[in-house]
Amino acid sequence: MREDYIETGYKPKLDELVCEYYMEPADGVSFEKACNHMAGESSIDTWSDISTLSPERAQELKPHVFFIDKERGTVKVAYKQDLFEIDSVPQILSAIAGNIMSMKLVKNLRLEDIEFPKDVLNSFRGPKYGLDGLRDLFGVYDRPLIGTIVKPKVGLSSEKHADVAYKSFVGGCDVVKDDENLTNQKFNAFDKRAEITLDAKEKAEKETEERKMYLCNITAPTCEEMLRRAEVINDLGGKYVMIDIITAGWTALQSLREATEDMDLAIHAHRCMHSVMTRNPRHGVNMVALAKLTRLIGHDQLHIGTVVGKMHGDKDEVLSLRDECVLDYIPTNDQLHILEQDWGNIKPMMPVASGGLEPGMVPDLYNMFGKDVIMQFGAGIHAHPMGTEAGATACRQSVEAALENFTLEEYASNHKELQSALEKWG
């Protein structure tokens, strides 16, 4: 194993990929030794000395550990671009977050962030629609979008599923989506659900004179079936698909984005299972890095958390994810382990706040996120005392109150759906 990867005076070149890690060496292992082995294992080295790579080539390809803060456990590494298949997220992750996570020399290791150079950015499509394109698709520019998930997650027939979607749409939802574990079950087969729920969407559009979107979950056992399902939605006139990004895998996500370039489909990224990698603050992968990869590949919207709902994620983390979705330029934030990123021509994504929301939380959501967000309610709509349609209406009324600077209590005084929601949830 080489011992010359640490070079704290090194300045990363513009075409290098930079990673920030949190590291805790194993007991009895020096920080420097752990850094050297991490840099080597993620690139050109192995656990024992080998002679199969010439010293000259090794010198050309070796990464540089250019920043170490032992007190905070922070390590920054600059990787040569030639180490990567630059348009392949699976290969990039296999290097920078692969075997290094299993090394005995480290007790804990967490990939905090990735800074992509221009050549890597230019090798990806980025979102087809992005935030502004989705605004055009809905024809809504001046408020947050309101969404719901058909509940329960699984168990409804296709007909009942479509009926719940219809009531949500006519009540005021812009978006209705499947939940993460509804795909192609016997009681609610994909093709039938897609057809009749899109019919319900069209009916609601005619009645409300608003654009509505149904996000059907195309997550599937194979890439071929996933793409077939995308084609079904496209052929039926749908404008959106949903994919479970972690369980489907990065190859599937890149395949889907390539296929949708020739369709009219926007992509909704559901992040279920991300906490397996992201929840431990000392080991795994920061959700910020996964959000950046999702934007790089080219999905149009991503779940980021809520702060006020049921899902794990503090305010700093959620707002960092919001920024990675919507900003064109991200400055360095050493405190939050955020690396600088100029997104160039890669379009912004629409952030989605989802998880345990009800109408009374809208003012806090609006104060945190502003108008560029999809506020997505599940039981906060379907558990409304007056039913699903009224639940959707209550959420829409909450947004109207926030936009018009009324308190919810003031607005509820002549809006019975909101009043009923406040009585139930406080």
Is pLDDT at 301 greater than 60 in this prediction?
A: yes
CA distances from 283 to 21, 278, 351, 356, 364 (A): 9, 8, 25, 26, 31
Give the residues across from 76 on adjacent strands. Answer: 20, 67
Pairing of strands 240-244, 329-330: unpaired
pLDDT in tens, 67-118: 999 999 999 999 999 999 999 999 999 999 999 999 999 999 999 999 999 9
Provide the pLDDT for residue 355. 83
Dihedral angle sign, alpha carbons of residues 421, 396, 294, 190: positive
Preceding peptide of 152 cis, ω within 30°: yes
Mean pLDDT within 300-316 = 77
Catalytic residue among 37, 62, 76, 151: 151
pLDDT in tens, 131-182: 999 999 999 999 999 999 999 999 999 999 999 999 999 999 999 999 999 9
270 is catalytic: yes
Tell me how far apart the alpha carbons of residues 157 and 177 are, in angstroms, rounded to a whole number.
15
Give the whole-number percent of the chain exceeding pLDDT 90: 89
Residue for token digits 């090794």? Answer: 58
Report the range of poorest mean pLDDT among 56-65, 125-134, 366-375, 385-394. 56-65
- What letter represents residue 307's amino acid? V
Element (H, E) at 242: strand 240-244
Catalytic residue among 76, 177, 270, 292: 270
Tell me how far apart the alpha carbons of residues 374 and 146 are, in angstroms, rounded to a whole number.
6
Give the whole-number percent of the chain exceeding pLDDT 70: 96
283 is catalytic: no
What's the pTM?
A: 0.94
Is pLDDT at 130 greater than 60 in this prediction?
A: yes
